[in-house]
Amino acid sequence: MNRIILIVAAVFVAASWTATARAKPPSHEWAPSFTTGYTETQTDLVGHVVATSSQTDIPAGVAVNRGGSPAAVPFACCSTSGCDTVDYYVTKRDGFGIQVVWRFHQVKHWCWSYPRITSVSVGSHFSNVDGISSVVNYDNHGYGFYYSWAGSSIGGHYSYRQGSVSNCVFRIGCIGTAYPQIEIWVNGNGAWTAKGGGL
């Protein structure tokens, strides 16, 4: 009887572990040497800074959700009107994980009057580029669109940006290319979500 209980328990544990393992996103989705981070500056409609926030070393592919997950940010969302700027970035470090080799940014600024977004601008660029071994191929491929939110056809805006940078060695040539990418969703109450990584 004890053997049957042990066998049933072992099968249950193995089945639970398999189900949990399958639920995780594939490990190859993002290269392991990338992290993300952001700096946010919220202002009122006349440009006075209301709050700032930043976070670094977020694992690639993990979404930062301001407005849906209060623990993710140090100040509360949301408001009936205002403006916000989010500089979300992907960081690549050297093989030792110490030196920043390059950083790819998507910078998104938007203003809102609930529930509508009244203006939006999006750009992207590289910074902290190691000029010895990194060569930027492009930094502003992407697209964006409005989506319906809270009853407004322009209540939300999505933007995607991708860059390309090659790792090159003097007299040998370029030996690898990375494609960092960032997605940002913003709403007409100041809430936003972003994630990024690199391939």
How many angstroms separate the first and last alpha carbons of the chain?
A: 52
- Residue 190 lies inside a defined structural domain of this protein: yes
- Report the alpha-carbon distance of residue 94 to residue 134 in Å, rounded: 11
Domain extent, residue 108, equals 30-198
pLDDT in tens, 25-76: 333 456 668 999 999 999 888 889 988 999 999 999 999 988 744 334 434 4
- Residue 23 lies inside a defined structural domain of this protein: no
Phi then psi for residue 90, to 5 deg, are -110, 130
- Residue 123 lies inside a defined structural domain of this protein: yes
- Residue 15 lies inside a defined structural domain of this protein: no
pLDDT band, residue 179 (cuts 50/70/90) = very high
Rg (CA), the chain: 21
Mean of all residue pLDDT scores within the chain = 81
- Residue 1 lies inside a defined structural domain of this protein: no
pTM of the model: 0.80
Instruction: Provide the number of structural domains found in the chain.
Output: 1
Contact yes or no for 61/29 (Cβ under 8 A): yes
How crowded is residue 148: how many other Cβ atoms within 10 Å of its Cβ?
11
